[in-house]
A and B are shown apart, each in its own frame.
Chain A
Amino acid sequence: MSKSTPRPIPPIQNRQRITIGISLLVVGLFMLLVFTRGTQPGQTATFGMNITATSKALTIPDLVLPVQPALYTFIVITVFLGAWQLARGVKSIGWLVGIVAFCFIAAFLIWATKEKSFNLVGMLSSTLGRATPIALAALCGVISERAAVTNIGIEGIMLIAAQTSVVSATITHNLYLGVIVALLTGGLVAGIHALLVIRFKVDQIISGTAINILGAGMTSFISSRYLEAHIDQLNNSGTFKIISIPVLSNIPILGPIFFENSPIVYIMLIIVAVMYVVLFYTPWGLRTRAVGEHPKAADTLGINVFLVRYINVIIGGMIAGLGGAYFTIGSVGRFDQNMTAGKGFIGLAAMIFGKWNPIGAFLSSLLFGFADSLQVKMQILSVPIPSSFLAMAPYIVTMIVLTGIVGRAIPPAADGQPYEKQ
């Protein structure tokens, strides 16, 4: 009956398999063409395994790699995986991409370090520090969005809290008071967001954007009008001392990375664990998730949807406030204009990549922290890439992650929708 033949349909899995396989081969080819150029036999790359002389960790010898053999090893692994994926396909795309990304970064580091020395543990240690505000922003996002309130105002909340904390800490000469002020500021600003979107049903994106604009404008104004003129009275608080955890900080490599940090880093790690347990193992978490997925169902069972949302958004704001404090009293001891530099937004990306799970959000934050830390160290190594391009690294990682190649995440079903009681 038909003259035209039906179009053949390759199943989606096939198309995906071929696309990813070819992409990996292209990555391998790129590594071969770029990273091996100009290398000579006998060159070595030295990776430092000790953070500083003052660290409590036991000193271990540095890692010295022969450049060419190491590079070819990573290239061969990448090409092999690409070919395998193209021919057969693998079950876990996540692992595949992860391994290839590791090979690529390793090859990049070896290329950048050839005939030089690079402090690897130092970079990993600063990764956790740089990941901390991102993780706190992501955790704020997780707890708000699990109750279905989108908060894109995290950037603004962090900026405002960064300023209030450093000013209060400078005036009172008490860093802990600075942290408390940061928590209160974050809770207050998030509370305004909650009131606008829950009570008055303002569009959540608009409200969040307004908070970001307000945060940037207000802090810049206060900064240029008051803080710059009275730096020592208002904007010079000093920072938290590094706390070394006894015994654990003596472990080589791991010690300096995890157990010699600012107290805010430890608090962040505690929040990750606590939030995970609360969300998945307690009544409050169950109610929060129900409110985020199907608020009407929760309502018909007598759960106060609005109350759950208010509390979650405000707690989220306090966590973001802590993230703001990390920028000032946690790392440099003073406020600079727009010093959060988009970390709040990157935190939202980490939240999505981490599938709205506190632990996932933390691990994704490490990825962004790593990209950030890497670009700084690369500038120091003076690799032949303009520093502006290097500075893009965390943002480029953000965009790649959000394309959803590595497992698309499903947000809470009611995310971003106001709840109307009939």
Chain B
Amino acid sequence: MGTVLELHGITKSFPGVLANDHINLSLEEGEIHALLGENGAGKTTLMNILYGLYKPDEGEILIRGEKVDIHGPNDAIARGIGMVHQHFMLVPVMTVTENVMLGVEPTRNGIFLDKAKVAKHIREISEQYGLEVDPDSYIGELPVGIQQRVEIIKVLYREANILILDEPTAVLTPQEVEGLFKILQTLIEKGKSIIFITHKLKEVMAVADRITVLRAGRTVGTVSPKEVNPEKLAAMMVGREVNLVVRKKPAQPKEAALEIKDLYVRDERKNMVVNGISFEVRKGEVLGIAGVQGNGQTELVYALTGLLPLESGEIRLLGRPVYHTSPRTIIERGVAHVPEDRLKHGLVLSFPLHDNLVLCNYYLPPFAKGISLQQTVIINNAEKLIKQFDVRTPNVYVNASTLSGGNQQKLIVAREFSRPIKLLIASQPTRGLDVGSIEYIHNRIIEKRDEGTAVLVVSSELDEIIALSDRIAVIYRGQIMEIVDAAKTSKEYLGLLMAGIQPSEAAKAAAKTKKETEVERVF
């Protein structure tokens, strides 16, 4: 046992931001060291410095007590550092073997790729670490969980001792997360050391040996999971006490606001991705759609908001059919849409805040009079809304692109929630947001529900779905596996459904006896 890696006083600034401010970190041999922090706390910047993608302004890196300079990924790899990126760095049209060998290709006769040799080596690694994968399959055909294994194999193939995993659980189902944690245990048993980057408290408590918390580019402290609890960690991350629980009264559902029957939708490449979905959302309740990303959720929401045509089936909104109806008409009937990609569909980034806040109704009085926009009214409206919805900005004239992710999301919420709405469709409403913003947006959504709005929440974060929903529909390959009562289900049960597995009757019974009144929100 010994210290394999030390970072001393790492400082890195980008124009206008101090991303890392004298950060210290040490990694012991055979430990899982969690690096915890909100988005924008500087975790990824720090790791990119360690991996040679950025050059630090100040500070030094020591590997096994020896000071090193890392100028690029090649240096990092040569010193035994391997990184599993949050967005997988795999070429989908190539095989596992080709992806693993890329960059360090062994050859026959000095010219031709020796794929057989690499495939053999991959099988050895698979066996040694319990990372089962077929070297000849194409990446694009593998589920994300397996793709992640390939990323880990890539790192092990390069004989790394220090593994950096950047938000490795973001794209996995709960069962896949379990599998990953087992793999991590095997890795440290074989003497590897791991830096595990995350913003999810539960995971940290489950696997980490030590936890270093970053906030706004500074080290807040390094603690052991034994001496802290999630509340304390959250407070360290955010810098204030955070309410980790969504408090809500039981729902009082009334008549249906949205009815969907046998809906089929094709995506832009003409593949049928929504395959016969039926459900209804009633006024005063939250229906959550749970599922791993890419199972038709996006297209379902697009169809409901008029962004994609229906292939067949029926959507009835407040009793009236929606068929070839324009997004504007749908908005005018009282639908609010918080889109999944706020940068692409939620805001016009190069517009000032005040214009972004009237994108739905700029053509109506009082914002428009005849053909002219009423600038004063628009600006007054904006000033009122940013105060009411706590959007942190110097003024309303700056472009939407200058805001942080959390404030951009609040801006969208301000625009959508300030109109008289009857149905709220929120897709990934808190993706990439910090704990404080998540708390805020969740409370607003529950508030809308209590006012009698029908709410449809789509999220790939199971914890978020459980926290917000009254009923949960699990979507898998464009079909609803089951609609369950949120109060009478468990994460494990939903996880099986999300993976397309119909749970056994026993699991069903076990889940249903369990009752949680307040759901813990975990990030």
The answer to whether A300 and B83 touch (CB under 8 A), given A2-B314, A283-B105, is yes
Interface string of B138-161 (1 = CB under 8 A from A): 000000000000000010000000
What does the 1/0 interface line of A295-328 toward B look like (CB < 8 Å)?
A: 0111111110000000000000000000000000
Using CB atoms, name the residue of chain A closest to B73: A302
Q: Which of A2, A282, A286, A297 has the most CB of B within 10 A?
A: A297
Shortest Cβ distance from B376 into chain A, in angstroms? 40
Check A290 for interface membership: any CB of B closer than 8 A: yes
CA distance A299 to B107 in the complex (A): 21
Minimum CB–CB distance for B356 against chain A, Å: 26
Interface 1/0s, chain B 319-359, versus A by CB < 8 A?
A: 00101000000000000000000000000000000000000
Contacts of A17 in B (CB 8 A): none
B304 to chain A, nearest CB (A): 16
Chain A residues near B74 (CB, 8 Å)?
A: 302
Contact bitstring A1-41, B, C-beta under 8 A = 1, else 0: 11010111100100000000000000000000000000000
The reply to whether B321 and A303 contact each other, CB–CB distance below 8 Å, is no
Residue ID in chain B nearest A294 by CB atoms: B91
Nearest-Cβ distance from residue A301 to partner chain B, whole angstroms:
4
A109 contacts the other chain (CB 8 A): no
State in angstroms the CA–CA spacing of A116 and B216 once bound together: 86
Give the chain A neighbours of B73 by CB distance below 8 A: 299-302
* Chain A residues in 8 Å Cβ range of B77: 301-302
Task: Please give, as numbers and ranges, the residues of chain B lying within 8 Å of A299 by CB-CB distance.
Answer: 73
Q: Which residues of B contact A286 (CB under 8 A)?
A: 94, 98, 101-102, 105, 113
Instruction: Please give the distance in Å from B69's CB to the nearest CB on chain A.
Output: 15
Kindly state the separation between the CA atoms of A4 and B314 in the bound complex, as whole angstroms. 9
Contact with A along B117-147 (1 / 0, CB 8 A): 0000000000000000000000000000000
Q: Are the C-beta atoms of A297 and B102 separated by less than 8 Å? A: yes
A392 CB → nearest B CB, Å: 32
Q: A289 and B94: CB pair below 8 A?
A: yes
Inter-chain CA distance A294–B400, complex, in Å, is 30
Residue B89 interfacial (CB < 8 Å): yes
Q: What residues on B are CB-neighbors of A287 within 8 Å?
A: 102-103
Chain A positions within 8 Å of B53 at CB level: 300, 422
Q: Does B111 contact A (CB under 8 A)?
A: yes
Query: What is the bound-complex CA distance between A301 and B103, given in angstroms?
Result: 6
Given the interface pairs A6-B314, A9-B264, A282-B113, the reply to whether A290 lies near B94 with Cβ below 8 Å is: yes
Most B CB atoms within 10 A — which of A294, A413, A422? A294
In angstroms, Cα B263 to Cα A7, docked, is 11
Does B307 sit at the interface, judged by CB under 8 A?
A: no
**A336 interface hit (Cβ, 8 Å):** no
Given A2-B314, A287-B103, A422-B53, do A301 and B111 touch, yes or no (CB 8 Å)?
Answer: no
Taking CB atoms, residues of chain A closer than 8 Å to B311 are: 7, 9
**Cα(A111)–Cα(B89), bound, Å:** 58
Does A293 sit at the interface, judged by CB under 8 A? Answer: yes
User: Which of A1, A9, A283 counts the most B-chain CB atoms under 10 A from its CB?
Assistant: A283
Given A298-B103, A302-B74, A422-B53, A289 and B312 contact (CB-CB distance below 8 Å): no
Asked if B72 and A302 make an inter-chain contact with CB atoms under 8 angstroms apart, the answer reads yes
Output the least CB separation between A312 and chain B (Å): 16
Chain A residues whose CB sits within 8 angstroms of the CB of B54 once the complex forms: 422
Q: Is A200 an interface residue (CB 8 A)?
A: no
Q: Does A389 belong to the interface (CB within 8 Å)?
A: no
B93 CB contact (under 8 Å) in A1, A293, A296, A301: A293
Q: Are B103 and A289 in contact (CB under 8 A)?
A: no
Known contacts A6-B314, A9-B311, A287-B103: A297-B113 contact under CB 8 Å? no
- Complex CA–CA separation, A12 to B266 (angstroms): 11
Given A4-B314, A300-B85, A301-B102, also A293-B91 (CB < 8 A):
yes
Please give, as numbers and ranges, the residues of chain A lying within 8 Å of B105 by CB-CB distance: 283, 286
Known: A9-B312, A287-B103. A300 touches B89 (CB 8 A): yes
Q: Within the assembled complex, what's the spacing in Å between the Cα atoms of A1 and B270?
A: 29
A303 to chain B, nearest CB (A): 5
Residue interface bits B66-110, CB-to-A below 8 A is 1, else 0: 000000111001000001010001111110001101111101000
| B interface footprint on A398-422 (CB within 8 Å = 1, 0 otherwise) | 0000000000000001000000001
A6 CB, nearest partner CB in chain B, Å? 4
**In the docked arrangement, what's the CA distance between A286 and B91, Å?**
11
State A14–B418 Cα separation when bound (angstroms): 48
Contact among B94, B104, B113, B259 for A293, CB-based, below 8 A: B94
13 contacts between A and B (CB under 8 A): A4-B314, A6-B312, A8-B312, A281-B113, A286-B102, A290-B91, A293-B94, A297-B91, A300-B83, A301-B89, A302-B72, A302-B73, A413-B92
Add 6 more A-B contacts to A287-B103, A413-B92, A422-B48 (CB < 8 A).
A1-B259, A2-B316, A9-B311, A282-B107, A290-B94, A300-B85
The 4 A-B residue pairs whose C-beta atoms are closest, nearest first, are A301-B103, A302-B74, A297-B89, A283-B105
